């Protein structure tokens, strides 16, 4: 299992004790903790109560275990909000989730139990491993969140995958990406065949990935899928200077809005912005410095750059939700925004901190740039450096 360490910005009080290798590449978020806490409070207020669904008394964020989509994302966000130490605490995360109850006093654990007991695709099982079982310290081979004595083996449900390295049916590319991340957590690495398969589905035209794995012009690449693919490659041991990662980041850079956000279907999306942040961090960069962008697309060096963290915070409403006109749902976008701002559990296997000087790869070659005014203070490379790691994600 990966070791998840809280980002450096959460350890500001210990800054004098930590020397972090940087080069405009710090991955830590410096967002006011109140932003996350207000977002988690909003999620608490959105739990379903009453008899929908009747079999659970709910406590979840989805109306049916058969169509779970938001609940696992919210559970991880609540776990993120419960962290107070340097290392990820599964007990703190699990306690926080169990203490998050709806008006009827129900927490989401029984709902998650029903999700696992239903029809599990490899991708759904992998999502439960990635967002619920591992961060909450629950055994993925004996997943029983309700504690009712009916465990489910999520690892067996993910399975060994198809002969070509994919998981799930053809066209269900996200299932393969989720499985790569889950396999990294439970086995220590993603299967080599899966990494090769993910590489093969990258669009040669722009470096992105499409949700259905189309490599031609039928389906457009999108930021969410591309971001997840980059995280999966990183989890599979593909380094940040690898052309697949560099070109994937170049696609993400090409889609960024002037205010630092990203869009979905033509509208600013908190989900897509949070996913892009996680992809950048997984490659070892600070998303709030233009270092990553100028490294993969040197032609943009010198162009204005706004911090994605600030863009996400700017989308927070008075009720604590973080959404945008391109958001799927306020609860879903808020949960993913918390993950993107905190980046404690996700990405699960980030690369070492990258510098901007002399870094090969990406369209146009290397780039060098000083961090922008207002960026976190850097420690010279000559200092005794301690690597501060973050830790994956996926959408839907």
Q: Which residues, 6 or more positions from 202, have their beta carbon under 8 angstroms from its beta carbon?
A: 208, 209, 215, 229, 244, 247, 248
Question: How does pLDDT run across 11-23, given as a tens digit for each residue?
Answer: 333 332 222 222 3
Residue range 32-36: average pLDDT? 94
User: How many helical (H) and strand (E) elements, i.e. helices and strands, does the chain have?
Assistant: 14, 2
Report yes or no: 195 and 206 within 8 Å, Cβ to Cβ.
no
Question: How does pLDDT run across 60-97, given as a tens digit for each residue?
Answer: 999 899 999 999 999 999 999 999 988 999 999 999 99
What pLDDT score was predicted for residue 182? 98
Report yes or no: 266 and 255 within 8 Å, Cβ to Cβ.
no
Question: How does pLDDT run across 370-384, given as a tens digit for each residue?
Answer: 332 222 222 222 222
- Would you identify the CATH topology of the domain 8-342? Glycosyltransferase (1.50.10)
Q: Which residues, 6 or more positions from 172, have their beta carbon under 8 angstroms from its beta carbon?
A: 121, 123, 212
The residue assigned the tokens 């350890």 is 11
- Choose between 47 and 86: higher pLDDT: 47
What pLDDT score was predicted for residue 327? 81
Q: Which residues, 6 or more positions from 396, have their beta carbon under 8 angstroms from its beta carbon?
A: 69, 174
Question: How does pLDDT run across 180-234, given as a tens digit for each residue?
Answer: 999 999 999 999 999 999 999 999 999 999 999 999 999 999 999 999 999 999 9
Report yes or no: 393 and 346 within 8 Å, Cβ to Cβ.
yes
Question: How does pLDDT run across 160-176, given as a tens digit for each residue?
Answer: 999 999 999 999 999 99
Report yes or no: 291 and 285 within 8 Å, Cβ to Cβ.
yes
What pLDDT score was predicted for residue 359? 39
Q: Residue 24: pLDDT above 80? A: no
Q: Which residues, 6 or more positions from 302, have their beta carbon under 8 angstroms from its beta carbon?
A: none
Residue range 45-72: average pLDDT? 82
- Place 360 in a pLDDT band, splitting at 50, 70 and 90: very low
* pLDDT mean across residues, the chain: 84
């Amino acid at each position: 299992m990966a070791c998840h360490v809280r980002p450096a910005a959460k350890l500001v009080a210990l800054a004098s004790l930590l020397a972090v290798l940087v080069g405009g590449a710090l991955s830590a978020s410096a967002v006011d903790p109140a932003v996350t806490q207000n977002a988690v409070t909003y999620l608490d207020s959105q739990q379903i109560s009453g008899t929908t669904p009747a079999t659970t008394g709910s406590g979840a964020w989805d109306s049916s275990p058969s169509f779970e989509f938001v609940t696992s994302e919210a559970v991880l966000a609540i776990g993120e909000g419960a962290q107070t130490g340097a290392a990820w605490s599964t007990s703190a995360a699990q306690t926080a989730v169990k203490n998050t109850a709806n008006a009827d006093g129900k927490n989401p654990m029984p709902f998650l139990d029903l999700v696992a007991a239903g029809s599990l695709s490899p991708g759904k099982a992998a999502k439960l491993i990635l967002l619920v079982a591992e961060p909450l310290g629950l055994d993925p081979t004996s997943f029983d969140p309700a504690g009712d004595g009916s465990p489910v083996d999520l690892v067996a449900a993910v399975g060994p995958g198809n002969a070509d390295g994919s998981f799930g049916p053809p066209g269900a590319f996200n299932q393969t990406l989720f499985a790569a991340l889950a396999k990294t957590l439970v086995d220590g690495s993603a299967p080599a065949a899966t990494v090769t398969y993910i590489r093969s589905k990258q669009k040669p035209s722009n470096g992105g990935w499409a949700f259905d794995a189309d490599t031609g012009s039928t389906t457009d690449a999108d930021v969410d899928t591309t971001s997840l693919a980059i995280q999966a490659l990183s989890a599979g041991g593909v380094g940040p200077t690898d052309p697949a990662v560099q070109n994937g980041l170049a696609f993400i850079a090409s889609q960024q809005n002037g205010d630092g956000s990203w869009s979905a279907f033509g509208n600013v999306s908190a989900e897509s912005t949070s996913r892009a942040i996680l992809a950048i961090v997984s490659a070892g960069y600070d998303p709030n410095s233009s270092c990553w962008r100028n490294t993969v697309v040197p032609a943009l060096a010198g162009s204005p750059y706004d911090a994605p963290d600030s863009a996400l915070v700017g989308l927070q409403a008075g009720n604590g939700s973080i959404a945008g006109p391109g958001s799927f749902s306020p609860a879903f976008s808020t949960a993913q925004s918390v993950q993107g701002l905190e980046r404690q559990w996700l990405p699960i296997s980030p690369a070492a901190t990258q510098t901007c000087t002399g870094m090969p790869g990406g369209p146009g070659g290397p780039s060098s740039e000083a961090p922008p005014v207002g960026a976190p203070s850097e420690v010279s490379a000559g200092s005794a450096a301690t690597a501060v790691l973050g830790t994956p994600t996926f959408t839907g």
